[in-house]
Structure 1
């Protein structure tokens, strides 16, 4: 099977690559050596440029001012965002298509459209100390108290909380007609009762932190409940499907950058009068990198195209898991080989291979670990058979 990107996807690929290579990559080292921070005016410019390009509107229906791009076009763009380290590619807020199905018109006006314009920034509070990939294990609750809900619980790894004014909080409903049902709320980050338990240091060097947040009787109006009580998991699954596919795309972008950098170094690094790229063991590593990338890219593109063909959600869920599993693990292997090719230079923080070696590791953990992806894939096989899981349709 061959796979050729349509002209529209190629155009987005080229446009976003120019943005990444010309505007974002030059700030990687600055960010790495300064705790992930770059000058505020530069960060603001990057966001403004991303908004002007249309990155926050790619998945948005045209009715709401969006571009409603095919998922394959969006994946081609996200792949190029993956070429940059230090989360500099996280320079724009992203409105996702499921939000326009799930949210009321009032919520779209109050939360989603301002996010598209860069006026609001979101973070997701889902994971807990005792609830990771299995979201159903969460213990954070929301109980109805007159004309409001009160949220109680502690959330871990709340990515970008330090840069966000709105938190999407996953809860279980306590009491009422739907005890134990899942709910998803918009919560103003400044609401009384929200506190930071601590802000752990992580392996990567990002300006986006991942603090542990505590919610103590945090009052939220019922109009901030997304959908109805009991529908929270449906929206979280939609978010997971998209995030897993986009992680796969960004992993491919990172792999591409690593191969380019490692191959360039191998062509110019001379040992014993010969470029190391002419040594068979180095060539073998480069070849393995190329095979890994090609396989991951084809699977990721095909999963995106399956969305555009309208495959059923359960099949798409498995396709996204396959793409994330394959691409994230391939990118990790490629980063390891790239460090080896660079030798001592590959262990220096100023080297792109060293940064990606650290940064790509989390892609096998967040939005569902590699082990969870394997369970999803295997369950799909057992329930729907081979044809219902990976058949080309």
Structure 2
């Protein structure tokens, strides 16, 4: 029996799947061979189709132009988006509800609404050379100077930094009563003092790069500070919780695509006179992949429903970590098996297994490594016991 999803969720699932199959997947190989790019007219068509489906900022309130969607609906949509490689699914804005609740009316009008409307584009400048999963280790500083803050620091892996015109910069307060606490700031990308140090090449081939930026005495008005002094880490945790759940959803989509592709190949590939799918070794591999996908999908849906029901946020935080840990590692195993089933074809960049084999690896790293997720999960278990987390 399929998971008892609401009728609305099944309809969205089918609609986004059609969008991915018809608008995005046909352009995967072109993007792979062209640094992640597709022709401008195709990009415009893909973005319009995403808007028409209501994918723009599904987490943001409807009154601001967002979707006002439940977490379950968002996970359903993101799962289907995960079926496409080369980040071609990144065709819509993704303002989250924490930002709306944290931002002033000025910030909402200046940055949030334009990002929701796809008129502006944001990126997050959080990670540093010596501070990845341990966000508290950041060395970037914000020093109050009258009605401004002066920002200094170097940020790594700033995803979509080459496409964004506004950054969300995380720093520690250098002085004052909240010295050492974290703050987030909106910083327009053309603000004096921001330098792109370099844009490294990564394993995947995305149009969205992950540059390194240096901030040297960058002055921003106090009005650019998100929330109060010291609120930064709570906002970052909200962002991580959301992203970890959605990473889990997309990993399920990737695994489902890989299982479909490898099953179809195994049925038609003849080895020693028999279809590859008739070999018990291949059947075992496909069975393991399907079983692990089902388990991960159930985790994603159940955690999304718990968040929608307003269950304990600390429990949801641990469960989102469990989702990311299991789903990301599951998808990596499925991709590795798929490459093996495809054989030499699976090592060709034109093959979906080869692309996912590279792309899925980062899911075990960004938004908190697998090791960090295990620490969060264990902490939840030690503090609350088993029952709240898994029953």
Q: How does 1:218-297 map to 2 (within 5 A)?
A: 218-297=218-297
Q: 2 CA distance for matches of 1:231 and 1:56? A: 26
Q: Aligned pairs, how many? A: 391
Q: How does 1:12-161 map to 2 (within 5 A)?
A: 12-161=12-161
Q: Any gaps of 5 or more consecutive residues in structure 2?
A: none
* Aligned-residue offset at 1:2: 7.6
Assess if the C-alpha contact under 8 Å between 1:62 and 1:68 holds in 2.
yes
Question: Counterpart in 2 of 1:204?
Answer: 204
Q: 2 CA distance for matches of 1:367 and 1:153? A: 20
Check 1:104–1:134 CA distance in 2 against 1; reply closer, same or farther (3 A cut): same
Assess if the C-alpha contact under 8 Å between 1:9 and 1:74 holds in 2.
no
Q: 1 CA distance for matches of 2:120 and 2:50? A: 15
| SS of alignment partner, residue 296 of structure 1 | helix
Question: Counterpart in 1 of 2:308?
Answer: 308
Q: 2 CA distance for matches of 1:365 and 1:91? A: 23
* Aligned-residue offset at 1:309: 1.3
* Aligned-residue offset at 1:240: 0.2
Q: 2 CA distance for matches of 1:318 and 1:115? A: 29
| SS of alignment partner, residue 226 of structure 2 | coil
Q: 1 CA distance for matches of 2:149 and 2:41? A: 39
| SS of alignment partner, residue 161 of structure 1 | coil
Question: 4+ residue stretches of structure 1 with deviation over 6 A?
Answer: none
Q: Any gaps of 5 or more consecutive residues in structure 1?
A: none
Q: 1 CA distance for matches of 2:149 and 2:52? A: 37
| SS of alignment partner, residue 114 of structure 1 | helix
TM-score norm. by structure 2 comes to 0.98
Assess if the C-alpha contact under 8 Å between 2:57 and 2:93 holds in 1.
no
Question: Counterpart in 1 of 2:336?
Answer: 336
Assess if the C-alpha contact under 8 Å between 2:55 and 2:67 holds in 1.
no
Q: 2 CA distance for matches of 1:390 and 1:110? A: 42
| SS of alignment partner, residue 143 of structure 1 | strand
Question: Counterpart in 2 of 1:350?
Answer: 350
Offset from partner CA, 1:16-75 (integer Å, 9 cap, x none): 111111001111000001111111221122122212221123112233233321111110
| SS of alignment partner, residue 66 of structure 2 | coil
Q: 1 CA distance for matches of 2:193 and 2:44? A: 30
Assess if the C-alpha contact under 8 Å between 2:194 and 2:218 holds in 1.
yes
Assess if the C-alpha contact under 8 Å between 1:47 and 1:118 holds in 2.
no
Assess if the C-alpha contact under 8 Å between 1:51 and 1:117 holds in 2.
no
Question: Counterpart in 2 of 1:389?
Answer: 389
Q: 1 CA distance for matches of 2:214 and 2:390? A: 41
| SS of alignment partner, residue 149 of structure 2 | strand
| SS of alignment partner, residue 356 of structure 2 | helix
Which deviates more, 156-165 or 380-389?
380-389
* Aligned-residue offset at 1:388: 2.5
TM-score norm. by structure 1 comes to 0.98
